[in-house]
Amino acid sequence: MASAVCGASQRKVRRNFNWIWYVGAAVWFYDAAVAMHRGELRSGLVEAGISAAFLAVAQFYRRQAKRPPRRDRED
């Protein structure tokens, strides 16, 4: 019983955790846009790459959170 409660709690944390990555991607994208507006192309491109990496990680965690829980066998 305790493991089921713990598993449900972990899934809830994991589900909420992926939104942090989306927020991070948005912040890095905004920073890249500001840098490019100021004419700093190199740092703007680096920040856009970091934003894309954050977005990829967010998608990974979103896919993990949607996955049905794995049942452990008790043989």
The per-residue pLDDT for range 15-66, each reduced to its tens digit, is 667 788 999 999 999 999 999 999 999 999 999 999 999 999 999 888 877 7
Q: Residue 42 contacts by C-beta under 8 Å, 6 or more apart in sequence? A: none
Paired tokens of 10: 């972990």
pTM of the model: 0.68
Hey, where are the domains in the chain? 2-66
Single-letter residue type at 50: I
How far does the chain reach from its first CA to its final CA, in angstroms?
Answer: 17
Paired tokens of 36: 């490019």
Paired tokens of 9: 């709690």
